[in-house]
Amino acid sequence: MKWCQKCNDPIEDMTVTQCTKCGTGAFIHDPKYLKQSVSQILIPVPQLETQTETPTSTKTITQNITEKQISLEDIHELIAAQNRTTHSVRAFVRFLFIQLTTLTLVAFIWNLASVSVDPVACANSGKHCNPVGALQTLAVIIWIIGVVWSSISGWSELKKSEIPR
């Protein structure tokens, strides 16, 4: 696309040698050299009334032509924003992964400790009524370590996603 240097009229056909609006032959091909002023652009808009016979009408729309080229600095900002997002997601996923892994291990050890209870023998003689206390204690210790570890891990990843000030 190119724009008329005199009236800023956009011209999509690259073979046109003169502006249809003002007749000048000077064009701007790079949008960064366009004036940032408001220009008039004619855009065909479908007719809303069905009683008229013309299928389309032309409506003048005031539009601010602003196009920006992407610079290397913009690309670095986009990469930094993507890295912040990645670390935020990693913080959440890492926290959940450690929590789920730890809780799975704790549930296995707790159930292993509970298997030692024999309900029939407990009802008849009062023996074998309590689960293995050492395994239950180990399960609680592993659970506490898992909560602390996952919290520290999640917060450290979350700090990596902070926006520098």
- Indicate if 54 and 89 belong to the same structural domain: no
Percent with pLDDT over 90 in the chain: 25
Supply the pLDDT for residue 66: 45
- Indicate if 40 and 84 belong to the same structural domain: no
Supply the pLDDT for residue 45: 42
Range with the poorest average pLDDT among 10-24, 45-59, 112-126, 150-164? 45-59
- Indicate if 136 and 80 belong to the same structural domain: yes
Who has greater pLDDT, 78 or 1?
78
- Indicate if 77 and 146 belong to the same structural domain: yes
pLDDT above 60 for 31: no
- Write down the pTM of the prediction: 0.50
Scored b (16 or more CB within 10 A) or e, 36-48 reads eeebeeeeeeeee
Q: What is the mean predicted confidence (pLDDT) over 139-143?
A: 97
Q: Which of 17-26, 37-46, 113-122 has the highest mean pLDDT?
A: 113-122
Token pair recorded at residue 128: 């074998």
Give the pLDDT confidence of 38-55 residue by residue, as tens digits: 343 344 444 444 444 444
Q: What is the mean predicted confidence (pLDDT) over 119-133?
A: 84
Domain holding 135, by residue range, is 72-159
Give the count of domains, the chain. Answer: 2
Who has greater pLDDT, 105 or 162?
105
- Indicate if 57 and 76 belong to the same structural domain: no
> Could you tell me if 3 and 28 are in contact, meaning their C-beta atoms sit under 8 angstroms apart?
yes
pLDDT above 80 for 113: yes
- Indicate if 44 and 83 belong to the same structural domain: no
Residue 164 falls inside a structural domain: no
Residue 165 falls inside a structural domain: no
- Indicate if 151 and 106 belong to the same structural domain: yes
- Indicate if 150 and 126 belong to the same structural domain: yes
- Boundary-marking domain end, from 64, 93, 113: 64
Range with the poorest average pLDDT among 61-65, 95-99, 126-130, 138-142? 61-65
Q: What is the mean predicted confidence (pLDDT) over 111-132?
A: 85
> Could you tell me if 1 and 10 are in contact, meaning their C-beta atoms sit under 8 angstroms apart?
yes
Cα–Cα distances (Å) from 131 to 105, 110, 137, 138, 144, in that order, read 17, 9, 11, 13, 20
